[in-house]
Amino acid sequence: MKQIRILIDAMPRLLRDIIEGAVNLQTDMQLIEAPAGCDLPEAIRAAAADVVIVADDAAGDGLSHEELLLLNPELKLLVVTGGGRGAHVLEFRRLPVERVSPGGLVDAIRAAVA
């Protein structure tokens, strides 16, 4: 079974401890430590992270979430908000259009907003 590689960005210590505790109990997940002094995009590449967990609305190093996903299109970004009271997952998605025809394009538009 492939281990899900998880990198946690800078966040309040208590929130980090809670997340680490939850992840460490999972046999299919592995926390990856960021090398000291490297920026977030560099840490993601070095760790070969599948998921990066960030606090609130800004990724580390002044990057927007969108910029981080554009640099790492395969990445899943888990954003914890409100000091741990909310969360959402962001991802860069590329879905193939099955039928490239007028009807297929209309179907793809409907599927995209469903």
Structural domain containing residue 94 = 4-113
Higher pLDDT, 96 or 29: 29
Q: State how far the alpha carbon of 111 is from the alpha carbons of 1, 27, 54, 73, 105, in Å.
A: 31, 34, 29, 21, 10
Nearest residue to 4 via CA among 89, 94, 96: 89
Count structural domains, the chain.
Answer: 1
- CATH classification of the domain holding 52: 3.40.50
pLDDT in tens, 54-72: 887 555 556 788 888 998 9
* Predicted TM-score (pTM) of this structure: 0.80
